[in-house]
Structures are given as structure tokens and as C-alpha cells.
Structure 1
Amino acid sequence: MCVVDGRPGLRERKKRRTHAAISDAAIALFLEHGFNQVSVAQVAEAAEVSKRTLFAYFPTKEDLVVHRLADHETETARVVRDRLPRTAPLTAVRQHFLKGLDDRDPITGLNDHPQVLRLTRMILDTPSLVARMEGFKAGAERALADALQETAATPELTARLAAVQIVAVQWALAQDNAARLAYGEPADARHPGAVADADHAFTLLENGLGDLSRSRDTSAR
């Protein structure tokens, strides 16, 4: 990447604009006509690029959609790594998720902007996109397990088991919220219930995962 005075160079800025143009064109077409009804060639034409250029930025058709969620794959791991001193990993994750609910972060499922709702429905109704999301979930588990081992001295097996449970809880909460909003419940009306559910879920986790640094790893026995 070419950076001048802390800013991306001309070539990098052009690449970012092309990336954004392809993504915007794809999402607009998919939401209007359906993911399976739109071809890659149609996306390339709408974005005014060649198919070869499109695939250079997005290797698969599914990438045109899920790339917008890619940063969230390692978000929980980043929260654990960036937590304040003497803050337990699970406490940091809990606080971050609750803040996401307050901020109506789409990753929590608590965002009722029409385009967000349509995008969520499209993903859930498309098996290939659901499969890619499951891949993100597995990646989130691996990243979180690594963060727990590196920052909390958590034994390897304990870290993997904890990561699976923590990520699963976040996804379950987000899916519950998204389902309620998909059926017409406003985000503001859902918010108190979403907070209560999150508090309940993380309390359940804390009962078994409260002290990850001292959990004993019995995998070698």
C-alpha cells in the first residue's frame, strides 16, 4: 500500500473506490432482484468494470455480500486483546455486546434500518451465504481462542471450548434479535428485551467461565 503523509496514495484510493463501486452495485442489484437471480456479469456491467476486475476484488459471488461483515470475524478477539488491565475477557466481551445493542450495531441483530433488514433476510434465505456466515463463525472462534491464550494465559483446550461458547451465545442473541425485527418489532421496542437476554446469557457463561486463566486443561490426561 502506498501511503503519503499518513494518507493512501492515488493508486490505493482508486482501488478503494473501485472496490466500493463494485460492492454498492452488487448489493443494490441483489436487494432488488435477489441474490440467485443476479449474475456476476450483471454486477460487473452495473459497476462498469470487467468480470476479471470484479474477481480480482471479490473472488466469489458470495464475497460481494459477506465482505461487509468480514471485520466482525475477529472483532471479539480484538475486544479481548484491547480490554483494560484487570478486566476479565468475558466481562470485556459482555460490555462490548451491550454497547453494540445501545448503538444499534447490525452485528447484534438490533438494527431496523430497511436496507439492513433486507440484507439480513437475503443472507438468511440464501444457503450459500448462510454457509459463508458459518465460516465466519468458525473463524471467530479460532481468533478468540488465540486471543484468550495470548492475553489470559488460558490453556489451549479451555480457550477453544470457551471461544465456541462465547461466539455461539453472541450469534444466538443476534439471530433472536434479527428474527424479531424481521417480523416487524421496532429496534427501540426490542432493546430492553435484548439487553435482558444478553445479561442472562452472559451470566450463564460467567457461572462456568468466570475465571478462564485458572481453568485446568485436562486434554493431556
Structure 2
Amino acid sequence: MATELGLRESKKQETRQLISDCATGLFIEQGFEQTTIAEIATAARVAKKTVTNYFPRKEDLALDHHEAFTQGLARAVSERAPGEEPFEALARTFRAALLDHSPVVGFTGAAFARMVDDSPTLTARMRELHDLREQALAAALTADAPHTAPAIAPRAAAALICAADRLLFRRIQELTLAGRADDEIEAALIPEADHLRVLLGAALAGQSSRSGRVG
């Protein structure tokens, strides 16, 4: 029974990935708004309902890493090592994603970045996802803050951190659209990310997880 369930789950993941890959190819070739669910279903050789069962929103077909994106900062805080400050965990997590050229921090390739940039729907959805990312981080910082901290402190910290996060994401997209290779983008972003880390560290100084400070 366990083997059967494992195979079934594996098949579901394969189908989901196939649909996502077919959709991405069509979006890049034709544009997001111009591509229909019916065309995606035909390309993936599945029913339209199968597509919408796996992806209730058309935008999710293009932005398939949305859950990892919206929850990533919050998880870096909640799953950090004992004794590690939240801001340190966030900086470490971003550096690892940058060196890994992760799509979660903006490494999507020029064709995909251009497709998103050309789509008003996806551009709006990306703004929503950044907002959800900030909300999730604020919740994680609130859960970690001492009762003596001002109620607005974790939300203010999340707003500052996510403003820097958005800036770095857009910077990676900007350089990608300019034709820079991933290794070149990494080299350019390391000192820029370090600069922002210093600015944030100064802005958030004096607020630890036990005394209200998040960096």
C-alpha cells in the first residue's frame, strides 16, 4: 500500500511538472495573456480540468514557486539554528540562494524574466506575492518577539527587510533582462547585498529576538 501511494504521488508530481513546463513554454513563446488553458491542456495532453485542478489560478502556472517564495523568509526565521538571530538567518539564507542562482531570489533566465515583465497580470501578481512574503515574515517575527516589544516592531522590521528583498529581486531581474549571465549577476549582487545588510543592521540595531532586536 505504501509503495502504491508513493507511486501515485510521484505520478501526480510528474503530471504537475509536465503541465507547468508546457505552460511556461507557451507563455514564453506566445505571451501570458495570449495563451489559453485549453492550449496548455492540449500541449500537456491532459484535460482542461486537470490543469485547473493542479493550478487553480492561471498565474500559478507561470509562477510555480509561489509557495516557496511567499514562505521563504518566514521559514528562515522560524527554522533558524538555536541562538541565531533572525536577521542573521535571513542574510545567510539569501546568500545561499544567491550563490545557488535560485529562482526564488530572481534567477529566472532572460526569456522568462521578459515574459513576466511584458505581462501586466504577472507583474501585478508578483506585487501580491511580495506583499504575502512580507506578511508571512511579519507573522514569524511577531511570534518570535518578546511581549515587551512594541506591537508594531516586528511589522516594521518585516517592512524594512522586505523592501530590501524586493530591491535585490528587481536588481537581479534588471541585470537578467540586460543580458548579464548568472555568474556576472552573482558577482554584482554580492557587494550590493552586503551594503544593504549593513544598512538594515544599523536600522534594526537594538532589537533582538529576546530584547526586541531582529538583526
- TM-score after normalising by structure 1: 0.85
**Does residue 178 of structure 1 match 2:168?**
no
Matches of 1:35 and 1:63, distance apart in 2: 11
Matches of 1:191 and 1:19, distance apart in 2: 30
CA displacement at 1:102 relative to structure 2: 1.6
> In structure 2, which of residues 32, 36, 51 is the aligned counterpart of residue 54 of structure 1?
51
CA displacement at 1:51 relative to structure 2: 1.4
**Does residue 126 of structure 1 match 2:119?**
yes
> In structure 2, which of residues 67, 72, 86 is the aligned counterpart of residue 70 of structure 1?
67
**Does residue 210 of structure 1 match 2:208?**
no
My pick for the range that moved more, 182-191 or 83-92, is 182-191
Instruction: Check 1:215–1:57 CA distance in 2 against 1; reply closer, same or farther (3 A cut).
Output: same
Contact 1:169–1:201 under 8 Å retained in 2? yes
Instruction: Check 1:190–1:25 CA distance in 2 against 1; reply closer, same or farther (3 A cut).
Output: closer
CA displacement at 1:215 relative to structure 2: 4.2
One-letter code aligned to 1:174: F
Instruction: Check 1:191–1:68 CA distance in 2 against 1; reply closer, same or farther (3 A cut).
Output: closer
Matches of 1:48 and 1:155, distance apart in 2: 55
Contact 1:152–1:212 under 8 Å retained in 2? no
**Does residue 102 of structure 1 match 2:61?**
no
Q: Could you say what secondary structure the match of 1:67 adopts? A: coil
Contact 1:73–1:139 under 8 Å retained in 2? yes
Matches of 1:107 and 1:43, distance apart in 2: 24
Number of matched residues? 209
Q: Specify every segment of 5 or more residues in structure 2 that has no aligned partner in the other structure, as ranges.
A: none
Deviations 1:84-116 (A, max 9, x none): 22221111111211222222222333x4xxx72
Q: Specify every segment of 5 or more residues in structure 1 that has no aligned partner in the other structure, as ranges.
A: 217-221
My pick for the range that moved more, 152-161 or 39-48, is 152-161
CA displacement at 1:141 relative to structure 2: 1.1
Aligned-residue RMSD, C-alpha:
2.1
One-letter code aligned to 1:60: R
CA displacement at 1:47 relative to structure 2: 1.1
> In structure 2, which of residues 132, 156, 161 is the aligned counterpart of residue 161 of structure 1?
156
Matches of 1:36 and 1:102, distance apart in 2: 33
Instruction: Check 1:4–1:82 CA distance in 2 against 1; reply closer, same or farther (3 A cut).
Output: same
Q: Could you say what secondary structure the match of 2:179 adopts? A: coil
Matched residue, 1:219: none
Matched residue, 1:193: 188
Matches of 1:183 and 1:82, distance apart in 2: 36
Matched residue, 1:30: 27
One-letter code aligned to 1:206: G
The percent identity for this pair of structures is: 36
> In structure 2, which of residues 39, 53, 58 is the aligned counterpart of residue 42 of structure 1?
39
Matches of 1:189 and 1:21, distance apart in 2: 31
**Does residue 17 of structure 1 match 2:8?**
no
Q: Could you say what secondary structure the match of 2:63 adopts? A: helix
CA displacement at 1:8 relative to structure 2: 4.6
Deviations 1:139-189 (A, max 9, x none): 111111111122343543111111111112111012112212211222323
One-letter code aligned to 1:157: I
Contact 2:142–2:155 under 8 Å retained in 1? no
CA displacement at 1:60 relative to structure 2: 2.1
- TM-score after normalising by structure 2: 0.87
